[in-house]
Amino acid sequence: MAARTDRTTDPELRAALLLARRGQAYFSRKLNELGNDELDAPSLVPGWTRRHVVAHVGLNARALTRLTGWAATGVETPMYASREERDAEIAYGATQPARALRNLSAHAAVHLDVEWRDLAPDAWAAPVRTALGRTVPASETVWMRTREVWVHAVDLDNGASYRQFPPELVDALLADVTRMWHSRPGEGEVPVLEPTDRPVARDGDDGSVRVRGRAADLARWATGRGGERLLTTPDGSPVPAPPRWL
């Protein structure tokens, strides 16, 4: 029997799906390296153990599967009923036995991948609504999952690093962070990111703080995962805390 493949033939979408799947494999590898007793240790997310991260990533796959189903059927199916429901699910999920947590992570990821694989080519453009209230095409679920699995692999605090990320992912994260910062003009000054290992088009000097460093280190800092000591500013002043990302 021939293997089933993605129904979409769009090359950009297929490349995006590959990056998401690589991220899932990366997350799963870092999770599988941890013993069951190690899941109780703190993660890099303030207030969360590794259990919370695993529960969150698994439940995120289920939520994005609901959006994919919405695109496939036209029946509105939100990611979550409310923010409170989402938080309660994560808190409860973190209390489950290690085996149940691992099964949640693995099975939810497979279910989402199957739904992506079988989604009709024209359904990828169907509008769905994110948990933040943005209306986006269903294709946006791929990027939402991509950043989820790669970044939270680091949050497991088990040796994963932004410096291990593919260059195209680092660039996409920097673009996503910058877009989100500029979407909130009332939340303070938006830093200018200046990768030292990438060609960058320097804009005019508008007085904004400029932060320099390797692109992977900038992505780490800009997504709220620390690393200030790896970065510099042109005038030698301390690197500030980054604005909110998500």
Predicted confidence (pLDDT) per residue in 131-154, tens digit: 989 999 999 999 999 999 999 999
d(CA 9, CA 172): 22
Q: How confident is the model at residue 2 (pLDDT cuts 50, 70, 90)?
A: very low
Looking at the predicted structure, is the pLDDT value of residue 1 above 60?
no
Rg (CA), the chain: 19
194 CB neighbour count, 10 Å cutoff:
18
d(CA 242, CA 52): 24
Give the pLDDT confidence score for residue 3 in this predicted structure.
52
For the ranges 101-110, 183-192, 200-209, which has the lowest average pLDDT? 200-209
Q: How confident is the model at residue 116 (pLDDT cuts 50, 70, 90)?
A: very high
Mean pLDDT computed over 113-118: 98
d(CA 176, CA 180): 6
Residue among 76, 53, 79, 83 nearest 65 (CA) = 79
| pLDDT: which is higher, 186 or 198 | 198
Instruction: For residue 190, give both structure tokens.
Output: 């938006």
Instruction: For residue 127, give both structure tokens.
Output: 């509008």
Instruction: Check residue 205 and report its DSSP letter.
Output: -
Q: How confident is the model at residue 205 (pLDDT cuts 50, 70, 90)?
A: low
Looking at the predicted structure, is the pLDDT value of residue 170 above 50?
yes
96 CB neighbour count, 10 Å cutoff:
16
Name the packing angle between helices 50-73 and 98-118 (round to 10°).
30
Q: What is the per-residue pLDDT across 62-82, written as a single tens digit (0 to 9) for each?
A: 999 999 999 999 999 999 999
